[in-house]
A and B are shown apart, each in its own frame.
Chain A
């Protein structure tokens, strides 16, 4: 009966996604258990969420209200049915305008616990210390990595890391102070790795590149590193190969794609026939992710690039139809899985024509 065994032990047990959706809607739109945010807007929708929304496809009828998350009092977001739990508030990157705020008590922990099983499939060690070279503070990834380390029996070291400040410097073309800030981050890393046993590193690609350009720090870290997790920005195929084969050939390397709204889609283990080095698998059906044609809103065919559309269907938060500023290639579900993958994440291209450069070079 081996043919009944799932060839993808990392994939969560299949769930009836439409039933999950109806359960979540019932919680968020029931006057006893819902949030003020949704209950006060239900009458403006023009349909009855409990009666008219039966399947994931019906979610398209909802408006994208995520812009309101920039200003709404966060208490309004907490569903009454969950109010007895301790909540935390997190913010989106804040790249464009004011950040969006979300609340969470336990839903994301379910996601993180599953990510941990995926890391087992990647061969990430347990009972090993982590170093988180990424944002903390309002950014949810800081808590996520800390939870992962704890969940897996390790301690988590952190550094002070403010991505908004770096983005502001870069937006103003101030590359030198941005580089100084990167050095400041790496100085903190160096202080840690000088005396502590770090076996798992979380880092963003630009900071990892800068780290690899500091030979002493790189060698000190690389010698004992068993696993490396990257996230936060896109990475070119050759850069990823250099990380895996040249700079950290002895470490397991895996990425996560995610953001404040959708949660974490970890890189799934590679399979025969993969054309992308990193394929991300969302925590379906808590996070339903579609890859759509920006013009028509229709899902793009497999292998094609489209814009990322997210529906967050958790007990702590319901947020349908959020069009992200990312694009991805839609990938067929892995063998033994039923959920589409995402690959080659990239920012939405900005529009612009050919610029004439003065000069002969």
Chain B
């Protein structure tokens, strides 16, 4: 039957209020699911509160049936065609500069900083990164594919191996949203389930893409809980999931799901490099507040462990405490309730190891920022066991475990890393680590773990996951 998908939906400019939705305070954003270019005012809502405790947004949620209505709408028009690259470039510019749905670029930054607790500067850099990526989607995509082949009537085409992609995106940083925009640029229709704390970035990207001319039926923005994400992944042809260890375990081994789990990025330094590099290491640990997956969260050293841990703790403790909306903010923050829970968690965690930051923070690493939020100051701990479970534990602030490494350990303690940074004489492990499947990138010497070029992969090949080669032979 011709189900009336969308036929009862209020159109743009409708003043019909969603029943049960209380009047919003001015300054509190209302974000609703977007299907086929239209806001769909949902009766299911969640209140999003900033780290300062103030209400930030009311988010209309897409329960499974609304998500299914979106799937039906998207699938009906998903034809695998590739939008013009200019759409993405224009969307990148709009994302960074335009007022979209009444949201200025400044307001966007404020909202994301307060919602996620990322420092203002982190969001600035992320916006620049997203804009740059959207301006070079063709280069990013072609860099992940073999050189084109065509000879006479024989040609190899890389085409989508599905029509509809579900993307479950994270809160920690805006840039992972580039992934699903690139999927659009490769011919997919995309269902986006934003993170619970940052619906703003995918919502703004959606608005920018639509304004730039993306066909409305190519995209759906569907805030919701785990069940919405799972439903979308089940219903789509392919899925991309960002998540912690639980999500990684949930989706591991699925050929149709690309999992972006914890980064667990590590550095290996010898005694000389450790003595030379503490400032660099501190930067790799704490840049962007340590919220990225390629921030270093474990440092292994063949030199003295405690000495290096003390040096790192001292440098990192010097990072100032400011509210995340301050231009000077460099550290992330969290809300009152989460801070209380985190305080207990950190106490349990540091009890297993040596806390090198404790003497620097008489009141612990959680500091009042003055705006109601709690800033998470860096925490450096050390263990004498390179296989300690904390080595590879990632927390959403500058947190690092320093552990010993000896030649006989080889690459074993360096496995399961988005990036491994090799320093001093240990750079000789680079080739061996490149061949280790659970290590996704290797840097050697004093270069930031996220140093890259558009031609280089961040974590494998997105195009390789989304596309497959097909032959077209034309009689000549």
Interface positions of A (Cβ within 8 A of B): 209, 212-213, 215, 218-219, 222-223, 236-239, 241-243, 245-247, 249, 275, 277, 353-361
- Report A-chain residues with C-beta under 8 Å of the C-beta of B7: 249
Q: Is the CB of B170 within 8 A of A246?
A: no
Q: Is the CB of A356 within 8 A of B243?
A: no
What distance in Å separates the Cβ of B182 from its nearest Cβ neighbour in chain A? 19
- Given known contacts A213-B231, A275-B19, A358 and B65 CB-to-CB distance under 8 angstroms: no
Q: Is the CB of A361 within 8 A of B63?
A: no
Interface positions of B (Cβ within 8 A of A): 1, 3-8, 19-20, 42-44, 60-66, 68-69, 71-72, 170-173, 195, 231, 234-235, 242-247, 261-263, 291-293, 337-338, 340-342, 345, 393-396
- Give the interface centre of B68, B173, B242, B340 by most chain A CB atoms within 10 Å: B68
- Given known contacts A246-B69, A249-B8, A236 and B393 CB-to-CB distance under 8 angstroms: no
- Report A-chain residues with C-beta under 8 Å of the C-beta of B63: 236, 238-239, 242
Name the residue on A nearest B293 (C-beta).
A360
Partner of A212, one of B44, B65, B195: B65
Q: Is the CB of B20 within 8 A of A275?
A: yes
What distance in Å separates the Cβ of B118 from its nearest Cβ neighbour in chain A? 10
Name the residue on B nearest A359 (C-beta).
B244
What distance in Å separates the Cβ of A305 from its nearest Cβ neighbour in chain B? 14
C-alpha gap A233/B19 in the complex (Å)? 21
- Given known contacts A237-B44, A239-B66, A360 and B396 CB-to-CB distance under 8 angstroms: yes
What distance in Å separates the Cβ of A223 from its nearest Cβ neighbour in chain B? 4
- Give the interface centre of A238, A245, A277, A358 by most chain B CB atoms within 10 Å: A238
Q: Is the CB of B195 within 8 A of A246?
A: no
Q: Is the CB of A237 within 8 A of B43?
A: yes
Name the residue on A nearest B248 (C-beta).
A359
Q: Is the CB of B342 within 8 A of A356?
A: yes
What distance in Å separates the Cβ of B134 from its nearest Cβ neighbour in chain A? 22
What distance in Å separates the Cβ of B419 from its nearest Cβ neighbour in chain A? 14
- Given known contacts A238-B61, A246-B5, A213 and B341 CB-to-CB distance under 8 angstroms: no
Q: Which 3 A-B pairs have the closest CB atoms?
A: A359-B244, A237-B43, A242-B65
Q: Is the CB of B3 within 8 A of A222?
A: yes
Q: Is the CB of A236 within 8 A of B396?
A: no
Q: Is the CB of B8 within 8 A of A246?
A: yes
- Report A-chain residues with C-beta under 8 Å of the C-beta of B231: 209, 213
Partner of B69, one of A237, A242, A355, A359: A242
- Given known contacts A236-B44, A239-B44, A358-B244, A246 and B395 CB-to-CB distance under 8 angstroms: no
What distance in Å separates the Cβ of A253 from its nearest Cβ neighbour in chain B? 12
C-alpha gap A243/B172 in the complex (Å)? 34
What distance in Å separates the Cβ of B205 from its nearest Cβ neighbour in chain A? 18
Partner of A246, one of B65, B172, B234: B65
Name the residue on B nearest A243 (C-beta).
B65
- Report B-chain residues with C-beta under 8 Å of the C-beta of A241: 43
- Given known contacts A249-B8, A358-B262, A359-B245, A237 and B393 CB-to-CB distance under 8 angstroms: no
C-alpha gap A277/B69 in the complex (Å)? 20
What distance in Å separates the Cβ of B199 from its nearest Cβ neighbour in chain A? 14
- Given known contacts A237-B44, A241-B43, A213 and B68 CB-to-CB distance under 8 angstroms: yes
Name the residue on A nearest B345 (C-beta).
A356
- Given known contacts A241-B43, A242-B65, A242-B66, A360 and B3 CB-to-CB distance under 8 angstroms: no
Show 5 residue pairs from A and B whose CB-CB distance is below 8 angstroms, ordered by the A residue: A242-B68, A353-B341, A360-B173, A360-B262, A361-B262
- Report B-chain residues with C-beta under 8 Å of the C-beta of A223: 1
Q: Is the CB of B394 within 8 A of A209?
A: no
- Given known contacts A243-B65, A358-B394, A215 and B341 CB-to-CB distance under 8 angstroms: no
- Report B-chain residues with C-beta under 8 Å of the C-beta of A360: 170, 172-173, 244, 262-263, 291-293, 394-396
What distance in Å separates the Cβ of A225 from its nearest Cβ neighbour in chain B? 9
What distance in Å separates the Cβ of B32 from its nearest Cβ neighbour in chain A? 10
Partner of A237, one of B19, B68, B263: B19
Q: Is the CB of B172 within 8 A of A361?
A: yes
Q: Is the CB of A247 within 8 A of B3?
A: yes
Q: Is the CB of A236 within 8 A of B245?
A: no
Name the residue on A nearest B337 (C-beta).
A354
Name the residue on A nearest B69 (C-beta).
A246
- Given known contacts A354-B338, A359-B243, A360-B262, A238 and B42 CB-to-CB distance under 8 angstroms: yes
- Report A-chain residues with C-beta under 8 Å of the C-beta of B72: 215
- Given known contacts A238-B44, A238-B61, A356-B345, A361 and B171 CB-to-CB distance under 8 angstroms: yes
- Given known contacts A237-B43, A239-B65, A360-B262, A245 and B337 CB-to-CB distance under 8 angstroms: no
- If A246-B4, A360-B262 are given as contacts, then 18 extra A-B residue pairs at C-beta distance below 8 Å, sorted by A number, are A212-B65, A213-B235, A237-B19, A237-B20, A238-B42, A238-B43, A238-B60, A238-B62, A238-B65, A239-B44, A239-B64, A246-B3, A249-B8, A275-B19, A354-B338, A358-B262, A361-B242, A361-B244
C-alpha gap A275/B42 in the complex (Å)? 15
C-alpha gap A222/B3 in the complex (Å)? 8
- Give the interface centre of A215, A219, A242, A357 by most chain B CB atoms within 10 Å: A242
Name the residue on A nearest B297 (C-beta).
A360
- Report A-chain residues with C-beta under 8 Å of the C-beta of B69: 242, 246-247
C-alpha gap A356/B393 in the complex (Å)? 13
What distance in Å separates the Cβ of B60 from its nearest Cβ neighbour in chain A? 8
C-alpha gap A213/B235 in the complex (Å)? 8
- Report B-chain residues with C-beta under 8 Å of the C-beta of A243: 65
What distance in Å separates the Cβ of A172 from its nearest Cβ neighbour in chain B? 15
- Report A-chain residues with C-beta under 8 Å of the C-beta of B246: 357
Q: Is the CB of B245 within 8 A of A358?
A: yes
Q: Is the CB of B262 within 8 A of A354?
A: no
C-alpha gap A358/B337 in the complex (Å)? 16
- Given known contacts A219-B3, A242-B65, A243-B65, A361 and B243 CB-to-CB distance under 8 angstroms: yes
Name the residue on A nearest B41 (C-beta).
A238
C-alpha gap A134/B261 in the complex (Å)? 39
- Give the interface centre of A212, A215, A246, A361 by most chain B CB atoms within 10 Å: A361
- Report A-chain residues with C-beta under 8 Å of the C-beta of B263: 360
- Report A-chain residues with C-beta under 8 Å of the C-beta of B65: 209, 212, 238-239, 242-243, 246-247
Q: Is the CB of A219 within 8 A of B61?
A: no
Name the residue on B nearest A212 (C-beta).
B68
- Report B-chain residues with C-beta under 8 Å of the C-beta of A237: 19-20, 43-44
Name the residue on A nearest B243 (C-beta).
A361
Partner of A236, one of B4, B6, B43, B243: B43
- Report B-chain residues with C-beta under 8 Å of the C-beta of A353: 341
C-alpha gap A359/B201 in the complex (Å)? 20
- Report A-chain residues with C-beta under 8 Å of the C-beta of B261: 359
What distance in Å separates the Cβ of B144 from its nearest Cβ neighbour in chain A? 23
- Give the interface centre of A223, A245, A246 by most chain B CB atoms within 10 Å: A246
Q: Is the CB of A222 within 8 A of B1?
A: yes
